[in-house]
Structures are given as C-alpha cells and as structure tokens.
Amino acid sequence: MLNVSGVFNDGILEEKFNNFSLRWQVEKIRFGWKIKSYVKGEPKEFELLRLNLKKDIVMKGDLVSFKRNGFIIIDNILYGFLTTLNGNLKILVEDDSLIFKVNYAHKEFDDYVPVGSFVILKIANKIDLYKKYVELVMEENNIHLKKIKPIILKGIDFLSMSKLLHYLKKKGFNIFFVYDEYSKYDLEEIYKEDLIKTSKMKRLREEEINPGIKISFDSKNVSKAALKKLFTYFSKKGVKLVDIGEERNIKVFKLLKEIKKDFKDLILLSENSPFLHSVGVVDIVEKRFDENYLFSFLEHKKIWYVADNYLIDDTFSKNTLYGVLNKTLILNYNEKICETKLIKDLENVLLEQEYFKIVSVGEDKFEIRSYSETRGLINLQIDQSMKSEKFIKEEKTNLRKKIEIRRDGRKFYFFGGDDI
C-alpha cells in the first residue's frame, strides 16, 4: 500500500504481494499531487492508500461525507478520488491513519488494470480549492454537458400553466414534465402492461414540452439487460427525461453508466445522489441544503446542471439567494398560483448573469457577487451552514463590458469603467 504523508517524488512505485501486485503512478500537479493506482493478479481485498491523519482531525473533516462524496477537506487540504473505483471501497480509521481498502473478490487480472485516481490539493481559499477539484474531476471523467436550459415541472397541470410555459419557451428553456411515478416496479411489468399512455405523450409534445418519468428501482433485481430494455421502451414512447429520485445503490449507477452511451438523448435526473458515482451518469442533480451546499454552485454547468426545488406560490421570490443566481429550476405544484406575479418572479430568478463569482470573506463565510446590466451589482453574504444571510444590492452603475477571445477559444469577460 501507499503511505501518504504529503511528501512524494514523481514516478512509478510498485509493491508485490503473494497473489497480486500494486502500482502507483505519482504526478506533481499544480497545487498538489495526483496518484493513479493499478492492480494485477488475484487481489481479493487489499489496502490501496493510507493517509497519515489524526483520528480527531479526520472526524472533524466529516468521514461520512467522504464515504458518500469521495473527498474530504481538512485544514485547507482536499483529499479525494477523481473517479469511482473499479472495486468496492471500504474506509477505515485506525490510530492516526485513514485507510482505503478495495475489494476485488473473485477477480483475476493478467496485466495491470486501473483501480482509480486520487488527488491531494492544498489551496488556502476553500472555494478555489473545490473549483480545482471540480476541474480535475471534469478532466478525468471527460465530461461533456448537454446543451440545455432545463426547467422541470412536477405534479403541475401544464394546460393551466400555459402563460408561464409560453414565457419559459420564449426565453429558450427546455421544459420537462414529470407526470408519472413508478415505485419499485418489476421492470418487465412496465412495458408488458404498456403503462405509458401515448395520448398523454402526444399532448405534451404538441405543447413543446418534453415528457419525463420518475422511477424507483428494485436494486436487488435490476440488471444491465433489464435496464437497457426499459430505457429502450422509454425512448420509443418519447420519454426525454428519467428521474431516478434519491437512488443510493452504487450497483444501479454502475449499470446506468454502462448503458448511458446507448441513450445519448435521454436526460437523467437524480436527487442528492452519491457524488462520484453520479459523475458521467447524471445530467441534472437536485441538491438539498447540506454542508457542501455552496460547492454545488461550482458544479453547476460544469459537471452537471444543479437544480433547485421551488414551490409555485407567493413565497417564490423570497429566497434571495436564487434570485442572484442563474440556475436550473424544479417547480413543484402548490395551490397558491398567481401567474402574473409568478412570471415576474421567474424573470428575476432566471435572468442571465453577466458576472458571477463566489469568494471567501472570512472563516466559513462567503459572498456571492453578481452583476447584470438590468439590476446592477448584487452581493449576498452567507455562512456555510446557510443559517444567516445578508443581502446587499448596490445602485445600478454604468459598468462597461469587454470580451476577449483567446487563441484557444476561451472567452474572458472584463467589467469596469472607461479604462477597460
């Protein structure tokens, strides 16, 4: 195993055991180190990495979050995997070590095969630290986002929302209507009974709305063949989005990743799912408030689209945080519908920002700064727990915008006075 203490040399390390061999490729990168691991032989369960960290420090960094999301931040150092491991991961805390064990039971490899990639990054600013991690995850998983502007409707009578939908379509949004839910269905039963009504699909398409389905899997019985057959059925019926809800089972995500390439036009939505297992599988993630909530903003339009869950009612515009950000929305039905006011509120929320940045302004306190030509500068100060916020709106200023296009095609936006 590789004992990680923070001091490395570039190169390849190998270690041989009775029935298998391990290889680590260590590379110095900006702000830290990247470690790729490989295994050969018949490894069964083996120790992949050992981090020298005191037990109380590990617990402070939230080990539960690491197990769920694949990374942990301790004292401005991020320890994290860039990809899911090709094997079952177990994380243990022993004395002053955080130990990663991988199980390859009943598998044998004639030559070295990749196990996974791991990074250690050190940046003083937490936002910049996570930005760098997101960048490396995108690079390692070869992420290519679908070109969509999604609005997702759940439990809403779309005909009674015609004015709202007309507004959204006019603004160029792709509207997905999730109208059915299958809970723990036998997958065979869905298409045997032909549960999707073609007439409903036709009405949605006439309104230029993309049909969506919500489904819960019985992960004990799910298989690659069954999923492929199910998704083929969905595609034939005109389904454009599949909402897998709060799916947690890693097996399901692995199977979805295997078949996703055969259904490139189908969009997958999940709610608060395991981070690394969703990368390259899920297109839209519905997040909840948690300790990594701020980080979800940095994933938006990078790894996937991050959706925020709204009720359609007269409290819609009170959440100033989302009024600042241009985000993907999930609209849930509520009886208090005032269409005129709702459209006005939507315009505020969905307004494209010319400039948007998250910066640290103190210990676990952050400021979201945004600018648009119509609303001027808007700053929102919040703490990481989201328990307090301070909303600051400055008077509209005559900022000029300058766009520079570099040779590699990247666009850089500059805002300032007459001297830019």
d(C-alpha 200, C-alpha 158), whole Å: 11
d(C-alpha 88, C-alpha 249), whole Å: 12
Select the more confidently predicted residue: 401 or 6. 401
| Reported pTM | 0.83
What pLDDT sits at residue 385? 60
Maximum mean pLDDT: which of 66-80, 300-314, 379-393: 66-80
d(C-alpha 302, C-alpha 261), whole Å: 19
Is the pLDDT at 170 greater than 90? The verdict is no
Look up residue 291 and give its DSSP letter.
T
Q: If you average pLDDT over every residue of the chain, what do you get?
A: 78
Q: Which of 345, 348, 292 is nearest to 324 (CA)?
A: 348
What pLDDT sits at residue 119? 94
d(C-alpha 152, C-alpha 328), whole Å: 8
Residue 162 pLDDT level (bands cut at 50, 70, 90): confident
Residue 366 pLDDT level (bands cut at 50, 70, 90): confident
CATH topology of domain 150-352: TIM Barrel (3.20.20)
- Please report, for the chain, the start and end positions of each structural domain, with discontinuous segments joined by +: 2-141, 150-352, 354-420
Q: Which residues contact 225 (CB under 8 A, 6 or more apart)?
A: none
Mean pLDDT for the stretch of residues 338-352:
63
What pLDDT sits at residue 318? 44
Is the pLDDT at 226 greater than 80? The verdict is yes
The tokens for 161 are 């929302």
Is the pLDDT at 377 greater than 80? The verdict is no
What pLDDT sits at residue 27? 92
d(C-alpha 368, C-alpha 33), whole Å: 29
What pLDDT sits at residue 396? 53
CA-based R_g, the chain, Å: 24
Q: What is the pLDDT of residues 21-60, one digit of tens each?
A: 999 999 999 999 999 999 999 988 888 888 877 666 666 5
Asked if 174 and 149 touch (Cβ cutoff 8 Å), the reply is: yes
Is the pLDDT at 266 greater than 90? The verdict is yes
Please, what is the angle between helix 162-170 and helix 339-350, to 10°? 20
What pLDDT sits at residue 322? 54
d(C-alpha 200, C-alpha 376), whole Å: 43
Q: Does 1.10.287 match the CATH number of domain 2-141? A: no
Q: Which of 43, 46, 49, 24 is nearest to 99 (CA)?
A: 49
d(C-alpha 163, C-alpha 160), whole Å: 8
d(C-alpha 167, C-alpha 374), whole Å: 19
Maximum mean pLDDT: which of 70-84, 193-207, 391-405: 70-84
Asked if 323 and 317 touch (Cβ cutoff 8 Å), the reply is: yes
Q: What is the pLDDT of residues 60-100, one digit of tens each?
A: 556 777 777 888 888 888 889 999 887 788 888 777 778 88
Q: Which of 327, 331, 326, 329 is nearest to 311 (CA)?
A: 331
- 3-state SS of 338-388? CHHHHHHHHHHHHCCCCEEEEEEEECCEEEEEEEECCCEEEEEEEECCCCC
Look up residue 390 and give its DSSP letter.
E
Look up residue 173 and give its DSSP letter.
P
Query: What SS3 class is residue 102?
Result: strand
Is the pLDDT at 6 greater than 90? The verdict is no
Q: How many residues does the chain have?
A: 420
What pLDDT sits at residue 420? 46
Ranges 61-65, 103-107, 170-174: which has the least confidence: 61-65
